[in-house]
Amino acid sequence: MIPAAFDYKRASSAAEAISLIGEYGEDAKFLAGGHSLLPLMKLRLAQPTVLVDIGKLTDLSYIRDAGDHIAVGALTRHRDVETSDLLKQHAPLLAHTAGEVGDPQVRHRGTIGGSIAHADPASDLPATTLALGATYVLQGPNGTREIAAADFYQGFLTSAMAADELLTEIKVPKMDGAGWSFQKFNRRAQDWAIVGVAAWRRNGDSGVALVNMGNTPILATSVTTALSGGASIAEAAEQAVAEAEPQADLNASIEYRTHLAKVLVRRALEAASS
Amino acid sequence: MADTTVGIPTVSVTVNGVLRRGTPEPRKTLADFLRDDCELTGTHLGCEHGVCGACTIFMDGEAVRSCLVFAVQAEGADITTIEGLSAPDGTLSVVQKAMNEAHGLQCGFCTPGFVVSITALLRDNPDPSDEEIRQGLSGNLCRCTGYQGIIKAVKIAAGQSVDANGKAH
């Protein structure tokens, strides 16, 4: 399996990477860990003409306490998110979920920013950061801007990020002792979730997001609205698919996905409430 | 198609302690670079798209799939392949001996990747539970053994006592 040929540019700074991507236009792509992009290129589902390698931008790999949130550099690898004491303390849902991504080899190379920028609705970290109310920091030729995860995902593998913008940081609000759960239903350890649910709950507050239940990661606002209106967990879980648009594939029919989502939301909320 | 002859960056990587330089085409994977350019054919390619784990190597100390890394991305990396895990005189490593003893292989195609993954697992977790072994090896597929012999080999390499069925005591 050999990808189509491409030109390779190794960036030595974020600014240089953004300048290079601007220079080569829409057929150029950033290359971080490459664990979403390389399989697509090998299957020739993606054929970028230029790859701008940002893998050496080690100053984008960090996990810092920033007061009300934890700042995670976009090039932080899943393994480093999984094992971060800071995240285990302040955003344990994210640390745990990073440890559920793929398998050990994937977690050693894949990055949180790459996973989010790829905007795959079947990936674990887009939905998890969505449930946590994270903010993404995008750097472009004219400076940086911040966008809420809830406004970021626009369609299948499509986000609000412009072609010449680079995701540089994920701001994860501190969970402040909230109960949490990540439910991933799959048949083999390394598979994507057939359906996944990320949920947290603290006093009257809650957040729930769904993996692989539509063209984007889905924020299950009807569930959280029901909970804050006093509904029981079982009642709220019945609202699991109100915002979802599940599709059928080899693994599951629409009906099966719908059933799974309700069951997994109930389990996640029970675990987050105990 | 992009011009592949102009501006190809030189790649320098340390493989099993030896500095290797090359100018691989950017689309050449690290796995193909190791096999074709370095003539280290112990790293095997099964699926070639990030599922089977046969191509697993150590890259800067972590187990990674060399089929999902372009050689140009490995610039400056310190790499250990299966050839670097046994002693220079060919003496097998503890993990390799355990795989032999426990019949952790049949056709042997997946074995280099498993040996790397097991070596990494036991370095980070010298006394793993059954669940931790299965999770730790979830990125490697074997179509011959049914995994029982492989799990037994991990336990033997970890110094855990095992019975004939591979159960730890």
Chain A residues within 8 A of B64 when measuring between CB atoms: 105, 108-109
Q: How far apart are CA B61 and CA A237, in angstroms?
A: 44
What pLDDT, on the 0 to 100 scale, is given for residue B162? 76
Residue B134: HSE in the Cβ half-sphere, 13 Å Cα cutoff: 8
Contact: B139, A7; criterion CB under 8 Å: no
Average pLDDT over residues A236-262: 97
- Among 1.10.150.120, 1.10.1740.10, 3.30.9.10, 3.20.20.70, what is the CATH number of B94-158? 1.10.150.120
Nearest neighbour of A8 by CB, restricted to B9, B65, B136: B9
* Secondary structure of residue B23 in the 3-state scheme: coil
Unique residue bearing structure tokens 């993404």: A136
Kindly report, residue by residue over A125-179, the tens digit of the pLDDT: 999 999 999 999 999 999 999 999 999 999 999 999 999 999 999 999 999 999 9
* Secondary structure of residue A111 in the 3-state scheme: strand
Average pLDDT, chain B: 92
Q: How far apart are CA B58 and CA B83, in angstroms?
A: 11
Residue A113: HSE in the Cβ half-sphere, 13 Å Cα cutoff: 29
Contact: B7, A104; criterion CB under 8 Å: no
Fold of A7-53: 3.30.43
What pLDDT, on the 0 to 100 scale, is given for residue A25? 85
Evaluate if residue B4 carries a pLDDT over 60. Answer: no
Q: What backbone phi and psi angles, to 5 degrees, belong to B159?
A: 80, 15
The answer to whether domain A7-53 and domain A61-173 are alike in fold is: no
- Identify the residue with better confidence: B163 or A162: A162
pTM score = 0.94
Contact: A108, B53; criterion CB under 8 Å: no
Q: How many CB atoms lie within 10 A of CB A44?
A: 11
Report the residue of A1, A6, A7, A8 to disrupt the B interface, i.e. the one with the largest count of B CBs within 10 Å: A8
Question: How would you label A169-181 residue by residue, b for 16+ Cβ within 10 Å and e otherwise?
Answer: bbbbbbbeebbbb
Rounded to 5 degrees, what angle do the CA atoms B129, B130, B134 make?
Answer: 115
What pLDDT, on the 0 to 100 scale, is given for residue B9? 76
Question: How would you label A137-148 residue by residue, b for 16+ Cβ within 10 Å and e otherwise?
Answer: bbbbeeeeeebe
* Domain A179-273, CATH class in plain words: alpha beta
Kindly report, residue by residue over A183-205, the tens digit of the pLDDT: 999 998 889 999 999 999 998 89
Cα B86 to Cα B16, B20, B35, distances in angstroms: 11, 20, 18
Chain B: which residues have CB within 8 Å of chain A? 1-4, 7-9, 25-27, 48-51, 53, 56, 59, 62-65, 68-70, 72-73, 75, 117, 120-121, 134-136, 138-139
Average pLDDT, chain A: 97
pLDDT band at B8, cuts 50/70/90? low
* Domain A61-173, CATH class in plain words: alpha beta
CATH assignment, B3-84: 3.10.20.30
What pLDDT, on the 0 to 100 scale, is given for residue B165? 59
Nearest neighbour of B138 by CB, restricted to A41, A103, A108: A103
β pairing state of A153-155 and A195-202: unpaired
Q: Give the residue extent of every domain in chain B.
A: 3-84, 94-158
Contact: A51, B117; criterion CB under 8 Å: no
Nearest residue of B to residue A7, measured between CA atoms: B2
Contact: A105, B65; criterion CB under 8 Å: yes
From its phi and psi, is residue B50 left (phi > 0), alpha (psi between -120 and 50) or beta?
left
The answer to whether domain B3-84 and domain B94-158 are alike in fold is: no
Kindly report, residue by residue over B90-122, the tens digit of the pLDDT: 999 999 999 999 999 999 999 999 999 999 999
Average pLDDT over residues A10-30: 94
Q: What is the CA radius of gyration of chain A?
A: 18
Evaluate if residue B147 carries a pLDDT over 50. Answer: yes
What pLDDT, on the 0 to 100 scale, is given for residue B166? 56
Q: What backbone phi and psi angles, to 5 degrees, belong to B53?
A: 80, 5
